[in-house]
A and B are shown apart, each in its own frame.
Chain A
Amino acid sequence: MKGKHIFISVALLLIMANASATIEFGFGDLSLDFAPVKPLYKESLAYPFSNDIRFSYLIAPAKADNVTNTILVSADDGTGNPTYKELEFKELNTHNTKYWALKSCTDIGLLRFTWKETAAIEIYIHGGINSVFGAYGGVDCLGFDGQYGLGLSSLLFDSIAIRGGFHHYSGHWGDEILGDFFSRGYTEGTDYKAITEYTRNNSWYFGASYTLSDIIRFGIDVELPEGKAWIRPAAHVPANTTKPSSEESPEKANTSDHIWTQEGFEDRDNRFYPSSYKAWRFGFSLEAQYSIDNVGRVYAGIDIQLHQDGKIDPVTATYSEDLGWKKEFSAVLGFAFRDKVTLPEFNIEFTYHKGRFPLLNYWFNDIEYFSVGLGLTL
């Protein structure tokens, strides 16, 4: 399924890139640009999963909450019901609160139609891989995330940008930490039922932003898992989500049934969840920039994330009305250098983040860190 989506996108890209003899041409007030460099819609600069290239050093205060030394597993709570619990792959050591983060993603626009320089619409495709390594000992890989998306972006009056499409997230554990985990002698079936993962395959995505005088930008974006989607962990699956492909009877098509079976509980499902729970994600961003002629710009931004899956209690592995949405806060201060508009920006960035660890599978692990990084942004 992942492959199909990507190949369709790539085929489209190639056709557009090579079918015509010109790169850009116009029809009166309408012009067409096959491969514009800068996308019409800009993602939040401070969002840890935005589609750009970053190589960063993360420094978290040396306290236990900021140590990432566990894997989340499903387990029997002793009464036959599921629970999620953390099992150590490494001893807790408050020295281990520094990390290397490497994110290699791109966000590009294709086939842009522009009318009178007041309205433009294009196809966008974005995605890449995000990884974090411990900056201690043997620099173990804590995990890899894959993400991609495809859809349409539009820009009106050079200030209002909107984007709609689908978005895929998939978390993977690092091999060294899995090796450490397995070598600790935990017994599958006794100590745990299954190792959990975080997947959104796929979600609908909608984003909008407003730019004032090319200085201030406010943005909001929303993700809603599709009605037919693979979602992990099992407890995050909304009540009525069904499997994207199933040759089985409709009553066996419920995604939560399937994922709970994968996580070791044959008779569990989430059909009893309230219909208001849909695993929404909301993002809000506010950014300011100041351009410096012939150099680039300096910018600052904040980003707030709200996750409805924060209402899932990991202890009981079920929806809890008493819990609130999970909140995350990120801030960025950056310097961007760019000589030519046809080249990406070279960024030097300082960030602050308080919220989930910046790898999908560690959604259960909160962290507060500062970082310094280098990067490229279209």
Chain B
Amino acid sequence: MKRTLAILVFAAICFSLAAFSFSMGPEAGFFGSFKSDLFSPKTRLGVISALSTDPEGDLIRFDRKDGIPGEYYSEFKTFNKEKDNYYLLMQAGGGASTPRFSWNKLEIGGRIEAYIRGVFFLLNGNDVLGFDGSYFLGGEAKILDSIIFRFGSRHFSGHVGDETLASLVREDPTMVNADISEYVRDNFEIALGYSNEAFPYVKGAISVIFPQKNSYMLPFVHRPDYIVSGGKTNQERDPGSYAIRGDYGLSYKALIFNGELTFSYQFGHSDVFLSFQGRLHQDGITNHTLTRADDTSGWEAEFDVVIGIERTIENRILSVEAIWHNGRFPLLNYYWKRLNSISFVFSVS
């Protein structure tokens, strides 16, 4: 008892001398204010205007039909170019950093964040094309008030909208026996960046995301050799697809690299900002097909350019953003669809 008390007293003295502090209350995340990160847990509402899509049309992709693996596309409704190129983006998200330990110029804490995103047709009815769910569980640190780091588990799960599915079955009943292509992954994420409140004009970060070994991972065509899902190897889990595709080799790990650089300038009581973000998907080399002959040498690239104005009110960052996006459609299950778009988004983070 005496020994325990002595240790506690000693620890308390050390902590007070070392300016150690601890908090269970939620704090704003070190990475919380990045502008164009698709995976940031912001609450968003916006309109997307597609300049072009590839492939064009109101399509759903399937990875297997009547038991035969392959790439199948089916139109879930007749494409109306005048109306179907406009979408409504709704995302509800939030995050908290807790607990938080501080010691001199080092802050370390836990981080949990999640969002659910839906994309709807804007003009041709309000049918939902799909929903995405994503969460991050991990830790983060800030060193010398400026170097930020985080590591944790990142989950992605894509879902096709119910109205879209019902339309599809009505349009093409033969697809009842087909498997919709889904994008699901449990990943690890590591990020490193610079953000200093004393010099708010520039901030940036890079990150890498890679699938966990035991991840339930879809589509098959993106799955690296090392994945053992539910105790089954790729060959055991999807023998039909494996027979066509085979192994990728050790160099393929379905990596995703992100990078973002943001310039801000105070304008009245708001900040205007210009942000650039790029992403590289290693799974792009598969061209999303089981056919090896379709493979490309380069990774699939995406970029966003964001210009916006934001205002911080009581720790909430309200912003209006204009986004030029050239990359994947902003729903995980539509990874096979390229989108070149202009969006206007209101967000709260």
Q: Which residues of A contact B (CB under 8 A)?
A: 1-3, 6-7, 10, 13-14, 17-18, 21-23, 34-37, 53, 55, 102, 104-106, 127-129, 131, 138-139, 141, 143-144, 146, 172-176, 178-179, 182-183, 185, 188, 195, 295-296, 337-340, 342-346, 374, 376
Assess whether B346 is in contact with A10, with CB atoms less than 8 Å apart.
yes
Given contacts A3-B88, A141-B159, contact A104 B131 (CB under 8 A): no
16 cross-chain CB contacts under 8 A? A18-B270, A102-B116, A106-B94, A128-B116, A131-B131, A141-B159, A195-B166, A295-B24, A295-B25, A296-B24, A337-B26, A338-B25, A339-B23, A339-B27, A343-B25, A344-B94
Question: Does B314 touch A at the CB level, under 8 Å?
Answer: yes
Q: Which of B77-85, B198-206, B252-260, B315-323 contacts A (4 or more CB under 8 A)?
A: B315-323
Assess whether A35 is in contact with B316, with CB atoms less than 8 Å apart.
yes
Complex interface: chain A residues within 8 A of B28 (CB) = 343
DSSP majority for the A interface? mixed
Assess whether A346 is in contact with B24, with CB atoms less than 8 Å apart.
yes
Given contacts A14-B346, A23-B313, contact A6 B45 (CB under 8 A): yes
Question: Does B31 touch A at the CB level, under 8 Å?
Answer: no
A95 to chain B, nearest CB (A): 16
Question: Does B105 touch A at the CB level, under 8 Å?
Answer: no
Assess whether B26 is in contact with A346, with CB atoms less than 8 Å apart.
yes
Complex interface: chain B residues within 8 A of A55 (CB) = 112, 114, 135
User: Once bound together, how far apart are the Cα atoms of A183 and B168, in whole Å?
Assistant: 13
Residues facing A in B1-41 (CB within 8 A) are 23-28
Question: Does B161 touch A at the CB level, under 8 Å?
Answer: yes
Assess whether B96 is in contact with A346, with CB atoms less than 8 Å apart.
yes
Complex interface: chain B residues within 8 A of A36 (CB) = 314
Assess whether A174 is in contact with B93, with CB atoms less than 8 Å apart.
no
Given contacts A3-B126, A106-B92, A340-B25, contact A37 B315 (CB under 8 A): yes
Complex interface: chain A residues within 8 A of B24 (CB) = 295-296, 337, 339, 346
User: Once bound together, how far apart are the Cα atoms of A183 and B66, in whole Å?
Assistant: 11
Contact of B320 among A14, A175, A185 (CB under 8 A): A14
User: Once bound together, how far apart are the Cα atoms of A106 and B94, in whole Å?
Assistant: 9
Question: Does B176 touch A at the CB level, under 8 Å?
Answer: yes
Nearest residue (CB) in B for A186 is: B176
Given contacts A2-B126, A144-B118, A178-B165, contact A296 B25 (CB under 8 A): yes
